[in-house]
Amino acid sequence: IQDLNPAWICRYKEEMVELIKTKHIKSILTPIQSGNERILKLMNRPMNLQEFKQTINHMKQLCPHLRVRTQVIVGFPTETEDEFEDTVAILKTCPFDEVDIFAYYEVGGSAAEKITPKVPPDIIVKRVKKLAKILTVPYRLSTNQDNLETNRKFRLFARPIKS
């Protein structure tokens, strides 16, 4: 399943769990975009991150081989260091198998273009590098069958940041 809004996973978690149990679904891409609820509201993607995390954990318990991929945007306008750390925390604690990291960039005519203050480009680069470093470090993945030492995959997507 590609581009499944995380809010829909929570809203239809019973149905999702039933689908996962069939083992016909091998992977899910669910782009959380941020680990901070204030930033998610600014992105017009409000959701309950705790409920989302619980749902993903439950799905992975039912089907340990389900691959869960997500995407995050680093440096969305007004994102503070603490809010960025919320994203780091959810990526560390939610059992994502792959993470795509996007550095925020302006898109002409978007609602985000009008949001200020902007996160300075050097801060965005620093945060992207931090996430990349964290996500390439081996971590413990506990399943109900066994414990595996693994590396998360990540892809870094960057476009020129306007100064």
Q: Please tell me the distance from the alpha carbon of residue 64 to that of residue 56, in angstroms, as a whole number.
A: 11
User: How far, in Å, CA of 59 to CA of 68, rounded?
Assistant: 10
Q: For the segment 84-94, what is each residue's pLDDT rounded down to a tens digit?
A: 999 999 998 99
Phi-psi region of 89 (alpha: psi -120 to 50; beta: other; left: phi over 0): alpha
Which of 47-61, 98-112, 127-141 holds the top average pLDDT? 47-61
Q: Give counts: helices (H), strands (E), the chain.
A: 6, 6
pTM for the predicted model, two decimal places: 0.82
pLDDT score, position 128: 87
Q: Are 52 and 9 in contact (CB under 8 A)?
A: yes
